Structure 1
Amino acid sequence: MTLIAILLPWLSFILRGRILTGLLCLILQITLIGWIPAAVWACISLQNAREDKRTRKLIRAMKEK
């Protein structure tokens, strides 16, 4: 998924269900200069989503104890 976030940042957002963000990222990515910020944005967003998922899993495990 990280490779997709670097090569096709807009697709990374769309695959995670963030359609409007993906379209905005596509508009940014259309320009060659905008490709780098779009890729960075997609990678950071992907990392944040992974951290949120891990945090929810830890909270759920703590509640079970």
Structure 2
Amino acid sequence: MMTLIAIFFPFASFFLRGKILTSILCLILQITLIGWIPAAIWAVISLQNSRADKRNEKLIKVMKTKS
């Protein structure tokens, strides 16, 4: 669901994750039709990185508790 939002409404993807300034910058980029594609790519990559960071934090917690 968030990936679709990141593709069709890149600024909303940042806004919903609490990155207000990044959202405004992305909206300015996305106003032009040419800027929409880089904005969408930026939003999707940022979303994937955020998910990977959360996954890594969980793994680190598990590894610390088992040691």
TM-score (norm 1): 0.99
The answer for unaligned runs of 5 or more in structure 2 is: none
Of all paired residues, the percent bearing the same amino acid is: 74
Q: CA RMSD in A?
A: 0.2
What are structure 1's unaligned runs of at least 5 residues?
A: none
SS in 2 for 1:17: coil
> 1:42-53 residue pairs with structure 2 within 5 A?
42-53=43-54
For 1:4-28, what per-residue CA distance to the aligned partner results, in whole angstroms no more than 9, with x for missing partners?
0000000000000000000000000
Task: Render the CA deviation track for 1:10-61: whole Å, top value 9, x for unaligned.
Answer: 0000000000000000000000000000000000000000000000000000
Count of aligned pairs = 65
| 1:1-65 pair list within 5 angstroms | 1-65=2-66
2:4 is matched by which residue type in structure 1?
Answer: L
The TM-score, its normalising length taken from structure 2, stands at 0.96
Moved runs in structure 1, 4+ residues, more than 4 A? none
